[in-house]
Amino acid sequence: MTGAAPLAPRRVVVLRHGETEHNVAGIWQGHLDTGLSARGIEQAEAAGPHLAALRPTHLVSSDLTRARATAQALSRVIGLPVETDERLREVDVGAWQGLTSAEVREGWPEVQAALGRGEDVRRGDHGETLAEVAARVAAALTEHLAQVGPGECLVVSTHGAAGRVAAAWLLGLDDDVAWRVLGPLGNAHWAELVEGRAGWRLHTWNASSGADAIEGTPPP
């Protein structure tokens, strides 16, 4: 007598939005509702067929335009509607929103130094900490994963910091460990995570269609 066949694992794909003009200029965006640049649109369109090959069954996005437009590029390929969730937004950077990296370094040197040491301090005076981002992202993922059955795949279109936090939460990693081990997701790059008996494991990180992306790590 043989036992029942094991259920196919669930999968989550964490997708960062395509490039924006603010990414190119090194401007902090946070909750600023920016659209994709011309190259960002090309990146999103190029990613669509590659992500379609992962057979998504659920598609959810941050409600900010840059993430939603990236999800819509995939939606046009696979025919799934895009569900939006504001809990998947980028970290709120408060007073830094719309400022260049140089302006933030000049105006908040102590906070920038603390971030450089890996401390989770509040961004831009009245912005968020990553722990606060993790709490809302975790709540969103818990809710959306409840709708994902065995063998199904959830694609989450989000942002750089929020995407790393999402992956870290699934993997059970502290964010400082995730930053050191995983590093940043590039524009229109993605991670695939697979659920096993003991929890989630990382299958791929920072995968892409091969479309051109700017070098370095632009601010959130």
90 in catalytic set? yes
Give the three-state DSSP class for 204.
strand
Residues 220 and 159: beta-carbon distance below 8 Å: yes
Cβ burial 169-179 (10 Å sphere, 16+ → b, else e) = bbbebebeebb
- Angle (nearest 5°) at CA 167 between 39 and 149: 100
Among 17, 31, 58, 144, the active-site one is 17
Q: Which two tokens stand for residue 150?
A: 């065995």
Contact partners, residue 143, CB within 8 Å, separation at least 6: none
- Angle (nearest 5°) at CA 166 between 164 and 171: 95
Among 19, 90, 192, 195, the active-site one is 90
d(CA 56, CA 11): 9
Nearest Cα to 148, choosing from 55, 53, 8, 10? 10
Looking at the DSSP assignment, which residues form a beta bridge with residue 13? Answer: 155, 192
Give the three-state DSSP class for 55.
coil
H or E stretch at 12: strand 11-16
d(CA 202, CA 77): 25
Provide the annotated active-site residues.
17, 90
